[in-house]
């Protein structure tokens, strides 16, 4: 019964995101705002609401910081997989040849990964204990969270790059009505996110899974359904800039969620609390390393010159699929 409930809530989230994608596409065509910025901020913030709500619920209500980290990092890994899979589905679109505006934001996301990988690496080598990155400024905060706040601000500027525009718009709705509908479906997504978090906790207990692995798979995939649905919908509309901006922006926003969750749990550095368990530490390390690797693959795919060589072109999405498969095999 719990699995049927999980699938039902996931379906509601998917339907709500289809509507959100359509209205963001209309806004993109009606305004002078960069499509990458719309996808990376407006749509990313909305489609990342599940990660925000579930992470806060996991850390505050369930007292499971590891579930929050697994959720965010698992979602980031799955988000990049979405691009690869959709690229194969829409095989004739070769969209990496069409979009370049999100190259710098993708590199910023890579730097966000480093904010956690560097202290972990120094700790493993025995040079600096990772707990040295915990600050006590009236509240307990990880230094990585402060760095993420700064990097996210930089990513917003980079997403607002000029681009060629398609002004065709056949929607009869006024801008006010479009915004009202955006808000309505956003509320549906938030409500579904709270429920799916609680269901994931029950599934993890029933299957005997670690909290971080359950977060990466059940929460990470379920809360990435909005991104999957949005990307497919935007590909059909051939709005690649918003689609790619949504994925990169969602990953950047997910790291922002980590910082916000760290701030919300004022008595504990939730990252330090999570990595005390060797199994959780191992899982989070895999998520960080493979997530950083996939982000680099994506950046290289955006950096290369447009090519008609299908073997070369699809080596990039194929590599992304392989990286995600490595995570699944390593976590079994």
pLDDT for res 126:
60
Question: Across 59-68, 262-271, 320-329, which has the greatest mean pLDDT?
Answer: 320-329
pLDDT for the residue numbered 290: 94
Evaluate whether residue 91 is within a structural domain.
Answer: yes
For 307, the token pair is: 């090519």
288 vs 246, higher pLDDT: 288
166 lies in some domain: no
pLDDT average, residue stretch 146-171 = 69
Confirm whether 100 is domain-assigned: yes
pLDDT reported for residue 131: 56
pLDDT range class, residue 94, cuts 50, 70, 90? confident
Distance CA(206)–CA(35), nearest Å, equals 43
Cβ-contact 99, 241 below 8 angstroms: yes
Which tops the pLDDT comparison, 280 or 169?
280
pLDDT for residue 14: 77
Query: How crowded is residue 55: how many other Cβ atoms within 10 Å of its Cβ?
Result: 32
pTM of the full predicted structure?
Answer: 0.77
Across 114-125, average pLDDT: 77
Mean pLDDT of the chain: 77
d(CA 74, CA 66): 11
Mean pLDDT of 289-303: 91
Residue 211 clears pLDDT 60, i.e. is over it = no
151 versus 229: which is more confidently predicted?
151
Question: What sign for the dihedral angle of Cα 267, 272, 273, 274?
Answer: positive
What is the predicted pLDDT for the residue at 218? 67
Contact 51, 71 (CB under 8 A): yes
Mean pLDDT, to the nearest integer, of 218-247? 78
In a domain, 263, yes or no: yes
Is the pLDDT at 162 greater than 50? The verdict is yes
Domain containing residue 265: CATH number = 1.20.1420.30
The pLDDT, as a whole number, for residue 159 is: 65
Give residue 74's domain range: 2-160+174-331
> Higher-confidence residue: 266 or 104?
104
For residue 251, being part of any structural domain is answered with yes
In a domain, residue 309? The reply is: yes
The verdict on residue 216 lying in a domain is yes
Q: Diameter of the chain by CA atoms?
A: 63
- Looking at the predicted structure, is the pLDDT value of residue 303 above 70? yes
pLDDT at 138: 45
Q: Which residues pair with 141 in a beta bridge?
A: 135
Give the whole-number percent of the chain exceeding pLDDT 70: 75
* Section 86-111 average pLDDT: 82
Count of domains observed in the chain: 1
**Res 302 pLDDT > 80:** yes
pLDDT for res 176: 79
Instruction: Identify the pLDDT of residue 139.
Output: 44
Q: What is the pLDDT of residue 210?
A: 63
pLDDT at 212 over 80: no
Which residues on adjacent β-strands are paired with residue 132? Answer: none
Please tell me the predicted confidence (pLDDT) of residue 214.
Answer: 64
* Res. 54: pLDDT tops 90: no
pLDDT at 294: 93
pLDDT at 293: 95
Q: Does residue 165 form part of some domain? A: no
């Amino acid at each position: 019964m719990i699995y049927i409930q999980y699938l039902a809530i996931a379906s509601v989230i998917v339907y709500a995101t289809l509507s959100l994608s359509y209205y963001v596409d209309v806004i993109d065509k009606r305004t002078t705002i960069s499509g990458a910025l719309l996808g990376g901020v407006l749509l990313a913030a909305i489609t990342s609401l599940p990660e925000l709500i579930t992470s806060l619920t996991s850390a505050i209500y369930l007292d499971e910081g590891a579930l929050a980290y697994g959720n965010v990092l698992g979602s980031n890994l799955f988000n990049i997989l979405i691009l690869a899979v959709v690229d194969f589905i829409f095989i004739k679109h070769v969209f990496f040849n069409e979009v370049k505006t999100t190259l710098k934001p993708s590199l910023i996301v890579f730097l966000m990964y480093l904010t956690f990988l560097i202290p972990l690496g120094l700790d493993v080598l025995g040079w600096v204990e990772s707990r040295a990155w915990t600050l006590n400024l009236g509240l307990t905060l990880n230094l990585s969270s402060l760095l993420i706040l700064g990097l996210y601000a930089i990513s917003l500027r980079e997403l607002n790059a000029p681009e060629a525009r398609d002004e065709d718009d056949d929607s009869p709705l006024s801008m006010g009505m479009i915004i009202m509908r955006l808000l309505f479906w956003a509320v549906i997504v938030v409500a579904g996110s709270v429920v799916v978090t609680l269901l994931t906790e029950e599934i993890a207990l029933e299957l005997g899974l670690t909290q971080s692995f359950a977060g990466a798979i059940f929460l990470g995939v379920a809360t990435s359904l909005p991104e999957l649905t949005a990307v497919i919908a935007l590909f059909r509309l051939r709005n690649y800039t918003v689609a790619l901006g949504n994925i990169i922006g969602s990953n950047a926003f997910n790291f922002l969620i980590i910082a916000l969750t760290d701030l919300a749990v004022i008595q504990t550095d939730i990252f330090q609390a999570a990595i005390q368990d060797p199994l959780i530490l191992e899982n989070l390390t895999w998520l960080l390393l493979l997530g950083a690797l996939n982000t680099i693959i994506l950046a290289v795919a955006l950096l290369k010159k447009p090519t008609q060589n299908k073997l070369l072109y699809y080596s990039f999405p194929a590599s992304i699929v392989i990286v995600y498969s490595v995570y699944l095999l390593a976590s079994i």
